[in-house]
Amino acid sequence: MRSLDQIFEHSSRSLAQRTSRRSLLASLGQLLTGAALLPLLPIDRAGRAYAAEGKAKADSPQSCEYWKYCAIDGFLCSCCGGTSSSCPPGAAPSPITWIGTCHNPGDGRDYIVSYNDCCGKTSCGNCECNRNEREKPMYRPSRNNDLNWCMANADSNYHCSVSVILGVAEK
Amino acid sequence: MQRAPLLIAAALCLSAGAATQAAPAPLAAEKLTVETLPPQSPHWVYVFDAAFDNEIDQRVHLYDGDSYRRLGQIDAGFTPGFNLSPDGTKSVIATTYYSRGSRGTRTDVVEFTDNTTLAPAGEIVLPNKRVMTSPNIFSVAYSADGHFVYAAYVTPAASFGVLDPVQKKVLGEIDTAGCVLVIPSGPNRVSSLCESGRLLTVTLTNDGHESARAMSEPFFDADKDPVFVQGIPTDQGYVFLSFLGEVHAIDFSGAQPVFAPVWSLVSAEEKGHWRPGAEQVGALHRKLGRLYVPMHAGGEGTHKDGGTEIWVFDMATHKRLARWPVHAGGLANVMAIQVSQDAAPIVFAATATADVAVMDALTGHVKHIEKHLGQTPWMMLNP
């Protein structure tokens, strides 16, 4: 399976370690611009370390066990006035994010998802969820959920996290 | 007629009781004062509370492992980095504030605290680039001689700031070509962890500018077995643990890092089943050479689940000396661990339910459990 996150990883890795910061920024800028139709880069936040509260059912977007949340780290926006793919009223989506692949047992497919943070308000504090399938430390930012991905927002405070389907992962 | 003597006796008892109860002197008037700290103790621990439910209000609690008392607090703002000066007399916090509390103009700043009084001791305003991440000792750090402070930047482009903690100013910014965090060594070297598994080491001039840089050989593979970024200080450098339990001891005392032969916390049978996992994944008593690691049984993706046991290793022989199950002692999974460096050492173990256990570091005996030492105590440092 060659998924979008793998493609991004390899490109960002070679960029990061073979080019200057200025050219890295230029490239990131191109990536951000080019990805306007997709939620961007690597994402999520400073997180808690055990699987969560959430509400009981694994097929509920308000449950930490929901399939789309396989590497999310933070408060579920669906418990904070948003949904699994929308920010609560008055919060702002992070323009940068990190991307992972989660398996949907409902249809047997793997999906590429982006974990965006919703920003500009303080911690929601409800439905904390920390899952780490294929999560990596912050030297691989495209797969790291400890970083606050609101970092580049005009208002970089962290509120909650979403998981947005980008497409089916290629087998 | 026979009642009269009884009534008289009862009345006498009542009057005698009233006489003795009426006597207490009033409490003296009190004078409001400010407590002073006792002399620094090796059994103090600085407990970093990430206050995850309200992250703009994180803090560090100073706790005494002998008296089992909180001694005071240092405020820490939003997703801060925290560290101590080499002599333990100062705390440094790299943090972010917003002009309207939770929103508004962002100010990134490094703040110093006098650890003898817990009073603020100056600040340096940073460019708004500071790394915002989980607690670790490499977000902000002093040079070994205290001459520089380094602050890691991630925007997400990676670099670091070089600061003068005496003159309280930013001396410059060093690009790290995608490598992250500030691992200090010697008076003027900073290493950063790279996705390629290498260490980038930048050497600085006396005025904080880059004089040289070098990239090491890879020492881990981020695809197969990444290392945690939470380094464990040794006399010559740091130990980094991998997700699968490999121990990478790195000597940073020379111009370039030197990698010791890798050894494993787990047997061949245990590999992939038992693994380290926590927010702060290990602590080392440097003189005794004892390494303490929160371990749990779990597969891929459980590297932040916390330890159901603390495993104790001898760094010289690589032998496991003990396994200390924590649930039996009334503790939840261990999320952070620290050990004092004195001859009667104690282990501090912070749990997923925010308790901090004080344990005999030689036997594992739980001496005390401090309940709810903050919300999410995810890192502990000691002088």
Confidence band, pLDDT 50/70/90 cuts, at residue A58: confident
Contacts of A94 in chain B (CB under 8 A): none
Interatomic CA distance for residues B9 and A168, integer angstroms: 95
Residue B119 contacts residue B111 (beta carbons within 8 Å): no
Beta bridge partners of B288: none
Q: Would you name the residues of A annotated as active-site residues?
A: 98, 117
Of B54, B176, B179, which is closest to A122 when you measure between CB atoms?
B54
Say how far apart CA A49 and CA A58 lie, in whole Å.
Answer: 19
CB contact under 8 A, A50 and B56: no
What is the structure's pLDDT at B357? 98
What is the pLDDT at residue A41? 35
Query: A139–B304: do the CB atoms touch at under 8 Å?
Result: no
A40 in reach of chain B (CB within 8 A):
no
Whether the pLDDT of residue A6 is over 70: the answer is: no
- Chain B residue with CA closest to A127: the answer is B53
**B-chain residues within 8 Å CB-CB of A146?**
133-134
Taking CB atoms and an 8 Å cutoff, what residues of chain B touch A132? Answer: 301-304
CA distance B177 to chain A (A): 5
pLDDT greater at residue A91 or residue A56: A91
SS3 assignment, position B208: coil
Closest-CA distance, A68 to chain B, in angstroms, reads 15
Q: Which residues between 46 and 105 in chain A have a beta carbon less than 8 angstroms from any beta carbon of chain B?
A: 46-51, 70-71, 96
- Pick B229's closest partner by Cβ from A120, A137, A148: A137
Per-residue model confidence (pLDDT) at position B289: 98
Q: Do A20 and B196 touch (CB under 8 A)?
A: no
pLDDT on residue A18: 36
pLDDT at site A30:
34
A108 reaches B (C-beta below 8 A): no
Mean pLDDT by 10 residues, chain B (383 residues): 49 49 90 96 98 97 98 98 97 98 96 98 98 97 98 98 98 98 97 98 98 98 98 98 98 97 98 97 98 98 97 98 95 98 98 98 98 97 93
Chain B CB contacts of A15 under 8 Å are 178
pLDDT of residue A57: 65
Per-residue tokens: B72? 């005071």
Predicted local distance difference test score (pLDDT) of residue A65? 96
Q: Report chain A's mean pLDDT, rounded to a whole number.
A: 77
Residue numbers in A near B300 (CB within 8 A): 133-134
* Helix H or strand E encompassing B92: strand B90-98
How far is the alpha carbon of A167 from chain B, nearest alpha carbon, in Å? Answer: 22
Which of B186, B195, B187, B157 has its CA nearest to residue B174?
B157
Tokens of B39: 């002399």
Asked if the Cβ–Cβ distance from B301 to A140 is below 8 Å, we say no
ipTM computed for the complex: 0.91
Distance between CA atoms of A166 and A168, rounded to whole angstroms? 7
- Please name the residues in contact with B107: beta carbons below 8 A apart, sequence gap of 6 or more: B96, B97, B98, B99, B125, B128
- In this predicted structure, the answer to whether residue A68 has a pLDDT above a threshold of 50 is yes
- Span between the terminal Cα atoms of chain B, in Å: 80
CB atoms A16 and B195 under 8 Å? yes
Nearest residue on chain A to B229, alpha-carbon basis: A137
Q: What is the pLDDT of residue A170?
A: 81
Q: What is the pLDDT of residue B20?
A: 54
Give which of B81, B72, B80 is closest to B139, Cα–Cα: B81
The contacts of residue B38 (CB under 8 Å, 6+ apart) are B71
pLDDT at residue A43 above 80?
no
* pTM of the predicted protein model: 0.87
Hey, are the CB atoms on B54 and A123 less than 8 Å from each other?
A: yes
Write b or e for each residue in B165-181: b if 16 or more Cβ atoms lie within 10 A of its Cβ, otherwise e.
beeeebbebbbbbbbbb
| A148 interfaces chain B, CB cutoff of 8 Å | yes
CB within 8 Å: A138 and B180:
yes
- Classified as helix, coil or strand, B4 is helix
- Helices A21-34 & A4-18, crossing angle to 10 degrees? 160
Out of B50, B154, B226, the one facing A151 most closely (by C-beta) is B154
Give the A:B interface size as CB pairs under 8 Å.
155
User: Per the CB < 8 Å rule, is B156 touching A157?
Assistant: no
CB contact under 8 A, A128 and B180: no
Nearest CA-CA distance, residue A151 and chain B, Å = 7
CB–CB contact B52 A25 (8 Å): no
